[in-house]
Amino acid sequence: MMEVSPSTVSFREFGCEQTLLSRPDGSASFVQGDTSVMAGVYGPAEVKVSKEIYDRATLEVLVHPKVGLPGVRERSQEQCVRETCEASLLLSLHPRSSLTLILQVLHDDGSLLSCCLNAACMALMDAGLSMSCLFCGVTCAISTDGEIITDPTAAQEKESRALMTFAIDSKERRVMMSSTKGSFSVHELQQCITVSQKASEKIFQFYRDSVRRRYSKNL
Amino acid sequence: MPTDTKRVRGPDVSQSPFLFWSRPAEVLPSHEPRADGRQRDQVDVRPVFVRCGLVSQAKGSAYIEAGNTKVLCCVYGPRETERKDETDMKSGRLTTDMRFAPFSCPERGSWIQGSQDKDFSLMLQESLQPAVCLHRYPRSQIEVNVMVLENSGSILAHAVTCASMALADAGIEMYDLVLGCSLRQDGGSYVVDPTYPEENSWRSGSREKRGGLTVAFLPSLNQVSGLQSDGEMAEETLTAGIRTCIEGCYKLYPVIQQALIKAVRRAAPPAAES
Amino acid sequence: MAAGFKTAEPLEYHRSFLKENCRPDGRELSEFRTTTLNIGSISTADGSALVKMGNTTIICGIKAELANPTAEAPGKGYIVPNVDLPPLCSSRFRPGPPGEQAQAASQFIADVIESSEVIKTEDLCIDRGKLCWVLYCDIMCLDYDGNILDACIIALLAALKNTQLAEVVVNKETSVPEVDLEKRQRLHIHKHPVGASFCVFDDSILIVDPTAEEESLSTAHLTVVTDEEDRLCSVHKPGGTPLSGEKLQECINRATTRQREIHKLIDKVLDSVKTSQ
């Protein structure tokens, strides 16, 4: 196993706020540097008959870009976030009901998909939905000289040779979701996964801190 | 125009290279033999290749190939009607959807269904409906989906034939098969089962007595279930044309029957004789 | 009896096969369905291919048109891939605009084209800043029985290899393009990306090339796309149950052998098409 020096796992400033919207059942905003995503969860609520699943809840994810209408790219992001949430949520606890997760992009400065995943996870937690594990998103960029950059900015993304986003679960630090761009070797992939797993610890620690901070205030 | 957000978008405008082809399009002569060697003024249909049951997911399916015209049809159902307000207690509903693949014509088509596709869907539905025993399927719908993979003329006629085969393959009760045949009148002479250039050649000149005709025909009942004609034709030419088309349908009939028998044999092989 | 068991308890039915390391259609866990290829069958398209993997059938037709390049990228053409899942291919799809699955597949194919550099958009430039080619790659499913992503990539690659572009000369004086459709040139294919898809059953068992039924019962999907230099062009896993690094490595190894097989198949079919002409 290769050593990952801690210097490679660096993040921009994190920020998170939960329960900031009053209408949804759960909400959160997640900020990674200048990238910022707001998430709202509605449900469990009544489901449309056509979308009803008899033994579990139907989860719908909507990604709204900062400007314009959602297009094909957003649809693909929705699919990634939805299937990740489906795997961690205990949907069978709410049969024949609907869950809706809305992600509003406030600003995109790189690592958007990972920020969406983080915001989604925080919002699901805030909604009090039962989950088998938590998940977090990490984006890695491989620069032209082979360096791995975690949580890249939009400029770094543009210069990079390859870009990978992973969702890591909190139980065994395994890969739940993977979405890549650009071409890379198997070794580079394994390296990026290792880096992301390392990085996920930091994010989960941040999750824990922010939830603790919130509840210590409330009590 | 609203932008299509559900597909990968290309440039706003693009033009077919055909527009810039320096060679002028040749005008098809109206007296010489046809480009593919078939005879004018005779019931000379293109040889067809037909096959049933190609699509595993469908209840019934059929594929027809005549010259370069390639049509695939799938039938789903009978199943519950989707829209409850349209449920008919006494008889079933036959829905048709005919689409052209974007690469099926010389000029690229759009993914969005145009008015032409809708017209074809409607004509297809009207031609098929009299042949299907819809009263046997109360409160349900039967879906007929036709996809044109390559359009090389007489598309409606072949779509009708293909759809009726798919219905038969799906085991939907029918009074008879529906066969289609097209004809294009060109002044005093006519061509049966015209190709795409033959169908569109009239655009270059504007002579009178030019028109197209498609007949949907029930061969064993000897009845016409659908008739579509455009252009300008005298009464006698039209009746003569319909007769020619019916003759064309009869030429097709044994081929279609053979294909269906083959499909049935494959689905249920005859018991070994002991 | 078996048919009743299959309908009533599909998951148990599949599990009973997987326990014996085989699958209901008689395949082993890491066995692909028979893949057949038909290239150049649509004469109205500039390039076309039909792929059959078991029952799954995908057709890809490529149409080339002329357009103006964008101001940001004056030396580049366009590639516009779209995947369509019409109601014809399975009863699970409704008529109307493409659904989420079709849209995600279109985006995936677009990403693979960009990541693998199968063709460079620079090659599609005719006159810098003035004229370029647009390749509309329309991919359509005719029979949906699982694993359409793999089949789409094969169909696309084979159709691109079959595509011939007409010769275009831009008239210096009038700056009107003159097209000669008789003189045609093949596209330059830089890479040969091929995908291999996997399904995870019960969080642990990996099966390759899933059918539609296996797809709907499984807990996660994974598609690995590799090229002939063994570089990965895409590792696409849209969620689902987590996967360990070792399992992922297994998938990558299977994907590289698959790339060789399909690359050979495409070349073989293309040769037979050329000799028959």
Write the DSSP string, A152-183: --HHHHHH-SEEEEEEEETTT--EEEEEEES-
Q: Are B74 and C65 a contacting pair at CB < 8 A?
A: no
First-to-last alpha carbon distance for chain C, in angstroms, is 52
Using the predicted structure, report yes or no on whether residue B69 has a pLDDT greater than 70: yes
Using the predicted structure, report yes or no on whether residue B25 has a pLDDT greater than 80: no
Using the predicted structure, report yes or no on whether residue B158 has a pLDDT greater than 70: yes
* Arithmetic mean of pLDDT, A59-67: 94
Tell me whether A156 touches chain C (CB under 8 Å). no
For residue B7, the chain A residues in CB contact (below 8 A) are 72
* Arithmetic mean of pLDDT, C247-255: 93
Nearest to A129 by CA among A31, A45, A215: A45
Strands B189-192 and B140-150 come out as unpaired
* Residue A19 φ/ψ region, left for φ over 0, alpha for ψ in the -120 to 50 degree band, beta for the rest: left
Q: At C170, which CATH number?
A: 3.30.230.70
* Arithmetic mean of pLDDT, A17-31: 93
Residue B24 confidence (pLDDT): 56
Chain B: closest CA distance from residue C257 (Å): 28
Using the predicted structure, report yes or no on whether residue B30 has a pLDDT greater than 70: no
Residue B150 confidence (pLDDT): 95
Q: Are B10 and C177 a contacting pair at CB < 8 A?
A: no
Q: Which tens digits make up the pLDDT trace of C22-59?
A: 999 999 999 999 999 999 999 999 999 999 999 999 99
Nearest to C107 by CA among A112, A70, A151: A70
Nearest to B216 by CA among B163, B179, B244: B179
Residue B5 confidence (pLDDT): 85
Total count of domains within chain C: 1
CB-based contacts of B126-130 (< 8 A; 24+ apart in sequence): B126/B225, B126/B226, B127/B160, B127/B178, B127/B180, B127/B216, B127/B225, B127/B226, B128/B94, B128/B96, B128/B160, B128/B163, B128/B164, B128/B167, B128/B178, B128/B216, B128/B225, B129/B94, B129/B225, B130/B175, B130/B218, B130/B223, B130/B225
Measured over all CA atoms, what is the biggest interatomic distance in chain B, rounded to whole angstroms?
Answer: 70
Q: What span, in angstroms and rounded, lies between the C-alpha atoms of C243 and A176? A: 6
Tell me whether A45 touches chain C (CB under 8 Å). no
* Arithmetic mean of pLDDT, C202-211: 90
**Number of CB atoms found within 10 A of residue B189's CB:** 11
Nearest to A186 by CA among C193, C245, C32, C223: C245
Percent of chain B with pLDDT over 70: 91
Chain A: closest CA distance from residue C161 (Å): 21
- Of C116, C244, C252, Cβ closest to residue A174: C244
How many contacts, defined by CB atoms under 8 Å, are there between A and C?
A: 109
Q: What span, in angstroms and rounded, lies between the C-alpha atoms of C259 and C265? A: 10
Q: SS3 for A7?
A: helix
Using the predicted structure, report yes or no on whether residue B28 has a pLDDT greater than 60: no
Chain C: closest CA distance from residue A114 (Å): 13
One-letter amino acid of C85: L
Nearest to A191 by CA among C230, C248, C257, C111: C248
For residue B16, the chain C residues in CB contact (below 8 A) are 65-66
Sign (positive/negative) of CA torsion B192, B198, B202, B203?
A: positive
Tokens matching residue A62: 């909507």
Using the predicted structure, report yes or no on whether residue B205 has a pLDDT greater than 80: no
Using the predicted structure, report yes or no on whether residue A218 has a pLDDT greater than 70: no
Using the predicted structure, report yes or no on whether residue A101 has a pLDDT greater than 50: yes
Mean per-residue pLDDT over chain C, rounded = 92
Using the predicted structure, report yes or no on whether residue A5 has a pLDDT greater than 60: no
Q: Which of A94-108, A163-177, B21-35 has the lowest mean pLDDT?
A: B21-35
- Contact between A42 and A125 under an 8 Å Cβ cutoff? The reply is no
Residue A157 confidence (pLDDT): 93
Q: Are C98 and B57 a contacting pair at CB < 8 A?
A: no
| DSSP code, position B250 | H
Strands C125-127 and C131-143 come out as antiparallel
For residue C233, the chain A residues in CB contact (below 8 A) are 183
- Of C104, C111, C249, Cβ closest to residue A181: C111
- Contact between A57 and A91 under an 8 Å Cβ cutoff? The reply is yes
Reported confidence tier of residue B29, pLDDT bands at 50, 70, 90: low
- Residues 59-78 (A) with a CB less than 8 A from some CB of B: 69-72, 75
One-letter amino acid of B24: P
Chain B: closest CA distance from residue C156 (Å): 14
Tell me whether C108 touches chain A (CB under 8 Å). yes
Test the A interface: residue of B4, B6, B83, B111 with most A CBs within 10 Å: B6
Report domain A11-218's class: alpha beta
Query: Chain centroid to CA A198: how far?
Result: 16
- Angle, helix B155-169 to helix B235-267, in steps of 10 degrees: 30
Q: What span, in angstroms and rounded, lies between the C-alpha atoms of A86 and A99? A: 10
- Residues 1-30 (A) with a CB less than 8 A from some CB of B: none
Using the predicted structure, report yes or no on whether residue A1 has a pLDDT greater than 50: no
* Arithmetic mean of pLDDT, B137-165: 94
* Arithmetic mean of pLDDT, B234-259: 93
Q: What span, in angstroms and rounded, lies between the C-alpha atoms of A143 and C49? A: 36
Q: Which tens digits make up the pLDDT trace of B77-99?
A: 898 887 777 777 888 999 999 99
Neighbors of chain B with 3 or more C-beta pairs under 8 Å: A, C
Sign (positive/negative) of CA torsion A134, C247, A9, C112?
A: negative
Q: Concatenated DSSP letters for B114-175? A: -HHHHHHHHHHHHHHGGGB-GGGSTTEEEEEEEEEEE--S-HHHHHHHHHHHHHHHTT--BS
Q: Is residue C8 part of a domain?
A: no
pTM: 0.93
Using the predicted structure, report yes or no on whether residue B22 has a pLDDT greater than 80: no
Using the predicted structure, report yes or no on whether residue B274 has a pLDDT greater than 80: no
**Number of CB atoms found within 10 A of residue C250's CB:** 16
B-chain residue closest to A73, CA distance = B8
Using the predicted structure, report yes or no on whether residue B204 has a pLDDT greater than 70: no
Measured over all CA atoms, what is the biggest interatomic distance in chain C, rounded to whole angstroms?
Answer: 78
Q: Which residue has the tokens 């698959």?
A: C258
C-chain residue closest to A82, CA distance = C239
- Contact between A42 and A21 under an 8 Å Cβ cutoff? The reply is no
Residue B107 confidence (pLDDT): 86
How many contacts, defined by CB atoms under 8 Å, are there between B and C?
A: 140
- Domains, chain B, in order of start with CATH, read 37-264 (3.30.230.70)
C-chain residue closest to A181, CA distance = C115
- Residues 89-108 (C) with a CB less than 8 A from some CB of B: 89-91, 95, 97-98, 103, 106-107
Q: Is residue C12 part of a domain?
A: no
* CB crowding B18-38: b at 16 or more within 10 Å, else e: eebeeeeeeebebeeebeeeb
Residue A2 confidence (pLDDT): 45
Q: Which tens digits make up the pLDDT trace of A106-119?
A: 999 999 999 999 99
Neighbors of chain A with 3 or more C-beta pairs under 8 Å: B, C
Strands C131-143 and C78-84 come out as parallel
Q: What is the ipTM of this complex?
A: 0.91
Chain C: closest CA distance from residue B17 (Å): 6
Chain C: closest CA distance from residue B145 (Å): 5
Q: Concatenated DSSP letters for chain C? A: -HHHHHHH-HHHHHHHHHHTTB-TTS-BTT-PPPEEEEES--TTSSEEEEEEETTEEEEEEEEEEEEPPPSS-TT--EEEEEEE--TTT-TTPPSSS--HHHHHHHHHHHHHHHHHTSS-GGGGEEETTTEEEEEEEEEEEEE--S-HHHHHHHHHHHHHHH-EEEEEEE-TTT--EEEEEEEEEE-------EEEEEEEETTTEEEES--HHHHHH-SEEEEEEE-TTS-EEEEEB-SSS-B-HHHHHHHHHHHHHHHHHHHHHHHHHHHHHHHH-
Neighbors of chain C with 3 or more C-beta pairs under 8 Å: A, B
Chain A: closest CA distance from residue C275 (Å): 34
Tell me whether A72 touches chain C (CB under 8 Å). yes
What Å distances lie between residue B20 and B28, B167, B205, C137, CA to CA? 20, 44, 21, 22
- Contact between A214 and C261 under an 8 Å Cβ cutoff? The reply is no
Using the predicted structure, report yes or no on whether residue B187 has a pLDDT greater than 90: no
Using the predicted structure, report yes or no on whether residue A172 has a pLDDT greater than 80: yes
Residue C182 confidence (pLDDT): 82
C-chain residue closest to B13, CA distance = C67
Nearest to B95 by CA among B40, B30, B140: B140
Chain C: closest CA distance from residue A131 (Å): 13
Q: Which tens digits make up the pLDDT trace of C70-114?
A: 999 999 999 999 999 999 999 999 888 899 999 999 999 999 999
* CB crowding A134-148: b at 16 or more within 10 Å, else e: bbbbbbbbbeeeeeb
Tell me whether A178 touches chain C (CB under 8 Å). yes
Nearest to B176 by CA among B129, B138, B213: B129
Reported confidence tier of residue B198, pLDDT bands at 50, 70, 90: confident
Q: Are B7 and A69 a contacting pair at CB < 8 A?
A: no
Using the predicted structure, report yes or no on whether residue A11 has a pLDDT greater than 80: yes
Residue B189 confidence (pLDDT): 85
- Of C117, C235, C239, Cβ closest to residue A82: C239
Strands A98-107 and A58-64 come out as parallel
Q: What span, in angstroms and rounded, lies between the C-alpha atoms of B178 and B225? A: 8
Reported confidence tier of residue A3, pLDDT bands at 50, 70, 90: very low
Q: How many residues in chain C? A: 277
- Contact between B144 and B96 under an 8 Å Cβ cutoff? The reply is yes
Residue A6 preceded by cis peptide, ω within 30: no
Q: Which residue has the tokens 């693009």?
A: B14
